[in-house]
């Protein structure tokens, strides 16, 4: 998959609330009321990543989780990154709808 242009990246970021461009990656932080809830969310994201065969860098700091996406093979951002970010946001919404707190 080809690397995206700056204009394509900017346009794709507009649809992803809270995701930020950080160099050649996009990233977003989440905060949960407890460590177990943070881990449940991370495990759900792991399932999405496996299904997409595209894996984020995941930083877990107690109740805070930071997800960072980039297509390492391409040396930057591709549509795969934004597709997975979109799936992660859908997961966040359903995770929240199930009564879990996430910010």
* Residue 1 belongs to some domain of the structure: no
* Residue 102 belongs to some domain of the structure: no
* Residue 43 belongs to some domain of the structure: yes
Token output for 9: 């990246």
Give the model's pLDDT for residue 68: 98
CA angle 42, 90, 38 (to 5 degrees): 25
pLDDT band at 96 (very low <50, low <70, confident <90, very high): confident
* Residue 39 belongs to some domain of the structure: yes
* Residue 103 belongs to some domain of the structure: no
Containing structural domain, residue 48: 6-97
**Using one digit for the tens of pLDDT, what is the confidence trace for 27-73?**
999 999 899 999 999 999 999 999 999 999 999 999 999 999 999 98
- CATH number of the domain to which 80 belongs: 3.30.1360.20
Does residue 1 register a pLDDT over 90? no
Mean pLDDT of the chain: 92
What's the total number of domains in the chain?
1
Q: What is the CA radius of gyration of the chain?
A: 13
- E-only strand ranges, the chain: 20-22, 25-31, 57-61, 64-69
Residues 6+ apart with CB under 8 A from 52: 80, 83, 84, 87
Give the model's pLDDT for residue 25: 97
pTM for the full predicted model: 0.92
CA distance 25 to 47: 21
């Amino acid at each position: 998959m080809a690397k995206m242009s700056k204009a394509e990246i900017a346009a794709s970021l507009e649809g992803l609330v809270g995701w930020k461009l950080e160099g050649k990656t996009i990233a977003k932080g989440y905060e949960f009321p407890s460590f177990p809830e943070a881990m449940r969310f991370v495990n759900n994201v792991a399932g999405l990543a496996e299904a997409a065969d595209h894996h984020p860098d995941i930083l877990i700091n107690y109740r805070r989780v930071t997800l960072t996406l980039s297509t390492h093979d391409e040396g930057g951002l591709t549509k795969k990154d934004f597709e997975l970010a979109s799936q992660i946001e859908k997961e966040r919404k359903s995770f929240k709808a199930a009564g879990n707190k996430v910010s």
